[in-house]
Amino acid sequence: MQLDDLNFNLPKELIALYPKKPRDQSSLLVNGKKNKIIKFSEILNILSPKDALIINDTKVINADLEGKIKDEKIQINLNKLEDHKKNIWSVFIKKNKHVLDGEKIFFFESFYGTIIVKKIGKNDNLYFLRFNKTLKNFKKKIDKFGKIPLPPYIKKRGLTKNDFKDYQTIFAEKEGAVAAPTASLHFTSNLIEKIKKKKISIIKITLHINGGTFLPVKTKNLSDHIMHFESGEITKEAASKINKIRENGGKIIAVGTTVLRLLESSKNSDGSIKPFKGQTNLFIKPGWKINTIDGIITNFHTPKSTLLAIIFAILGKRRTIKLYEFAIKNKMRFFSYGDACLIWNRND
């Protein structure tokens, strides 16, 4: 598949810069022979007590930091924790000068990071940085002084106090992501309570999303794109619950592409789930057989992205294009703070 196959024209006014309030009043496009649009909260009418929602309980850290090399301001975005003991992170550095191995970027008071490797791979802005604080103290510092890492198109309109809460899911527990699993942003405490009352299972797994999710695909042929690695975990208990739901005839609904990627990274050939702890760089694209889920709740994705390639893998090119044309025609809101769709898997 060519990258241009993943392109579409989106009117700028459909890019959501703020979330709906309350979150569960955003719109949900339910894909089928006849597409329909409902309130997200009405998903209760679609799911049954046998079914399960699989969610990502990662928590977004305050990954945007501003420091200085001498008197020059340097903006960095934490990407991924590479070494727990030494507190070494891969980071994106926005700069107007060449940064050198061994240079120190000073942040708050006596808090600094040392550049230990200049440049990772072919990305000119990605470096390794070793911080001079223990991981525990480091987290305290970024909690106090860092900013929530909003997608670039939202960041342009300026950070607000509400973003620290708006860009965090209600399920957020385990720190480590630098981008939110945005499909989960539509859930509220009120909706969760109703889901539990209906005895729909909510099963938690963890995938720490890193900055690679914002990087554009640069290869003309999609098969040439090298996917970034992310850390994830599916516990033995979670795997067992998921498999039992399917054995009992219930539907497995992935809440977000991050959940789907982790499930597909940990499956047996029949689609049953194994416990998992480690790294995955699975790139789901057309040709990959998805057999771990019955459906996926996901936001509307950016053109030419690996996330959109996942939807192509589930629906195929023609049906995906029709779905997105329907969403645009009905003025649905796109991207992280936008509306969602429920897509049924016809490949399992």
Q: How confident is the model at residue 246 (pLDDT cuts 50, 70, 90)?
A: very high
Same fold, 3-60+164-344 and 64-146: no
- What pLDDT, on the 0 to 100 scale, is given for residue 1? 86
Q: Give the CA distances from residue 50 to residues 44, 54, 249, 334, in Å, rounded to whole numbers and listed in that order.
A: 12, 13, 7, 31
What tokens does 8 get? 């579409």
Fold for 64-146, please state it: Thrombin, subunit H (2.40.10)
Name the superfamily (CATH) of residues 3-60+164-344. QueA-like (3.40.1780.10)
- What is the mean predicted confidence (pLDDT) over 24-42? 97
The four Cα atoms 280, 283, 284, 287 give a dihedral, to 10 degrees, of -130
3-class DSSP state of 220: coil
**pLDDT score of 57 more than 60:** yes
23 CB burial (10 A radius; 0-12, 13-18, 19+): buried
pLDDT of residue 125: 75
CA dihedral 243, 245, 250, 256 (to 10 degrees): -70
Can you read off the two tokens belonging to residue 239? 């795997």
Is residue 325's pLDDT more than 90?
yes
Look-up of token digits 């990662």: 58
Query: What are the structural domain ranges in the chain?
Result: 3-60+164-344, 64-146
Mean pLDDT of 106-117: 87
Mean pLDDT of the chain: 93
The residues near 140 (Cβ < 8 Å, ≥ 6 apart) are none
pTM: 0.94
List, for residues 141-174, the tens digit of each pLDDT value.
999 889 999 998 999 999 999 999 999 999 999 9
Q: Comparing C-alpha atoms, which of 240, 197, 251, 246 is closest to residue 51?
A: 251
Helix axes 317-329, 306-315, angle to 10 degrees: 110
Q: Compute, in degrees rounded to 10, the torsion defined by CA atoms 329, 53, 280, 57.
A: 100
Cβ pair 51, 201 in contact under 8 A: yes
- CA dist list (Å): 53 to 252, 297, 329: 6, 9, 29
Q: What's the CA dihedral at 41, 47, 50, 53 to 10 degrees?
A: -60
